[in-house]
Structure 1
């Protein structure tokens, strides 16, 4: 064999050997991948599984913390998460919360800590299962509590959850409303149920089925021809009554009803004053034959003429009502029920039920949230006045009743269920409310903080957390039968025997944006000064109801027999124009100039501000007051 032939044999042999070695090496490398679990990659999960701190309340005096933790990303199942508290000396306290969270779910956590000095930092750490073993992830979010530049937390508008508007609090404060959507103008006071005209309120609320922000460029009273029903397809809307010129806007004669799965609604600075001059009557046959709406069930009952002012019912959720005024309802004034969830009613006036139009001539009720399926509802900093009962009446849910002012109602400050069939689980936080008797308050017997003709479900009694409530006579002296150290002293004996063993000593639920809690006396002053549709101005009706509190006056007699409803003039000057808005984006020129926007560019109204993650149109609206 010549050298060339030998060389080729050696070369081919080496190639075979190398090939075999290569295959073996590849097989060796691949085998663990195919037959053993892939090593867990924490950095990978750092990117795809994220939990953040969305709100914190710290009580340093009692070493107690309430916080909300929200999951914003990832498909993996959490086994638990850790809350790590660190003080200025870098000593730590670790609290473990068990259980998984779904995407966008929020979990409320409350605990006491010990052994720490002044808190410096709060962190949350996810723990999840991989191949049967718990793996601790990385810190994605933390709160630095030192203040100054070092303690500043910058917003990330892509992930951070902001309240519906600055000042939104409670269970409904996550509502996004129509943020980022179309800007729709109400330019007239017309109403037509069958053919809503463009520029009308009914057209804006029910004919444009996309996210939208409602701006009023007209002042006055809108006399509805029938109920204004908003259903699921009408969701994602923000209604801003404070944008109206003149003295604002009033909605009259029929209610606004949110139902049929409607969700994500923001209602600010609106007035709904229902009223009617019709006596009660049964429905006509023609009305029964034309029944084709969700409210037609009412038509077969002997209450055709009965209507509230504002209703939230039948699966409606994610709703916040702020600085609004409701009166002259013919049944209750503001009510709802039927599996509603994540609701906030705040800084509003609910008062002066109508004494006309109901089969019961002295009905005049406040709020009734019926059914057993209601969930999270917050009522705070509201004024309830001149109502006979149901102030409110609540049948189920985790309910925050905080810093409300109740004046001159006939009986029963807060009413529990009268029908066991309607009762669900009730967890009640009744905190720092102010209850004042007046001329129409029943003189005989005790005015119950918790009233009602039934003791509710004795196998599952409501659980109540009482704290800081104040009950006074008409001259604001303490009532003789109420012991502030025993808040169950205002609960009937038969109810007290069942409820008191279940009373709580702490909050039931902390919302993502917790309610700012004042003392009862502070709440009295703040609510009377600020509640209701105070923008553009507080109207004569609200002014009278508030003045009643200071004067110790007010009667359940509106309207007087034979009288009519007196709707205040919303444009007394006769010249109520919307400010100059060259690009018709809802933001007046003067504000665009002052804030370095382009008054010839309608697109910039929907652009997001890096300063607070709200759109420019939202920032303009909230700058009004």
Structure 2
């Protein structure tokens, strides 16, 4: 396994790159998973976002595309219109501190963020791409946030909705870097934490070229050391979450409401693997709560195993019920080759120090902490949570069906370094943001 710390320090000694402080401390209080100790932009320069413009000096795009370790803070709040141009982040050691923005915080529309690097922390931002009037099947295909071959990434307490592809994903090449699975795993997304996010209302029959495409989260083939914890999935037709072939992941303490055609899902598709030997997936699914809703099909199982690959499965304490109170079938299989599902008595992969909560604590925890700026949620997140509580709402095709893009006035407030603990980007006075 690559020693990331040694590699970065060697590069620094050669004058190639400044390196943030490494250590045993977590990225911020409550950080979880294999990525929990990433430094992000710790020790780097502070870049202030001072405009809501989609590009140019002082913009979020300029800050995320900058080089070197950096902490991105906000002196402006409101809507950033990306005008159908995603932001691609290629330079490592980055902290996006959405909690520093003045109310109403930062919301991105008409585009998303692609992380193609390492050591990134993203917190308290909202990404709502939308169909933006595009014609059905016209090819406007946009993720909310995706990692592509990235590692040591934490996406925590953010809100994602209205993507026309996935709302939130960890992806990358399947088979680069050599001939072995270990080599492949060093070239796709790994050491990823998606924690305490709201992942809602992926758009169904919208502008994706394939047609129906309301998708929550995709974890791509051979991604490893992935933790998905404390998230709310609501009104996503499929991929609540989808784990592809050979994935090593833990899904714990998520609340899933109104899944349509797929809830949790594992699939290794032989046609995608070609001549490569199939890898056994290894999943730990613990303490998740699933509740059917108006769009949930009547015979939906909690977990679907599809395709040709075998699966090692540790599953514990995952209550799942339809809207009428019926228990969901635990596992359904869709395959022309019956995959072997080996039930394990212990997790094959578990993040050090992580403790899953009992399922009876999950709803209260998720309602309290999930999504961007839970102390002052926007109208979209407020509505989603209300629908989850009341058992209402449905899967949609267009953001216009639920009021369209939010309207927020621009606000401004200077970022005062002395008010913040810069290593963790928490306020010294204990206030949330």
Query: Shorter-normalised TM-score: what interval?
Result: 0.7 to 0.9
Distance 1:165 1:251 in 2: 24
CA deviation profile, 1:538-588 (whole Å, cap 9, x unmatched): 11111111111111111122537x7686222333xx6x3315x6xxxx426
Paired residues of 1:448 and 1:492 also in contact (CA < 8 A)? no
**Pairing of 1:42-441 with structure 2 (within 5 A):** 160-191=23-54, 196-206=55-65, 208-232=66-90, 234-259=91-116, 262-280=117-135, 304-313=139-148, 315-338=149-172, 339-355=188-204, 356-370=206-220, 372-395=221-244, 396-417=246-267, 419-420=269-270, 421-422=272-273, 424-441=279-296
Partners of 1:245 and 1:536 within 8 A in 2: no
**Post-superposition offset of 1:362:** 3.5
More RCO (CA 8 Å, sep 6+): 2
Aligned counterpart for 1:529 among listed residues 356, 368, 374: 368
Residue pair 1:320, 1:345 contacting (<8 A) in 2 also: yes
**What is the rounded CA distance, in whole Å, between the counterparts of 2:3 and 2:59 in structure 1?**
41
Which protein has the larger Cα radius of gyration, Structure 1 or Structure 2? 1
Whether the aligned pair in 1 keeps the contact of 2:215 and 2:239 (CA below 8 Å) is yes
1:103/1:203 CA distance change after superposition, 3 Å:
closer
What is the alpha-carbon distance in structure 2 between the residues aligned to residue 495 and residue 470 of structure 1? 29
Do structure 1's residue 567 and structure 2's residue 405 form an aligned pair?
Answer: yes
Identify the residue that residue 312 of structure 2 maps to in structure 1: 463
Alpha carbon RMSD of aligned pairs, Å? Answer: 2.9
- TM-score, normalisation: structure 1: 0.59
Secondary structure of the structure 2 residue equivalent to 1:416? strand
Q: Kindly tell me: are residues 271 and 347 of structure 1, through their superposed partners in 2, closer, same or farther at Cα, counting changes over 3 Å?
A: same
For structure 1, which runs of at least 5 residues remain unmatched after alignment? 1-99, 106-156, 282-301, 483-488, 593-604, 607-613
Unaligned runs of 5+ in 2: 7-19, 173-187
1:546-625 correspondence to structure 2 within 5 Å = 546-559=385-398, 566-571=404-409, 576-578=411-413, 586-587=416-417, 591=419, 614=423, 620=428, 623-624=431-432
State the alpha-carbon separation in 1 of the partners of residues 151 and 79 from structure 2.
Answer: 28
| CA pair 442-364 structure 1, distance change in 2 beyond 3 A | same
Deviates more, 1:514-523 or 1:430-439: 514-523
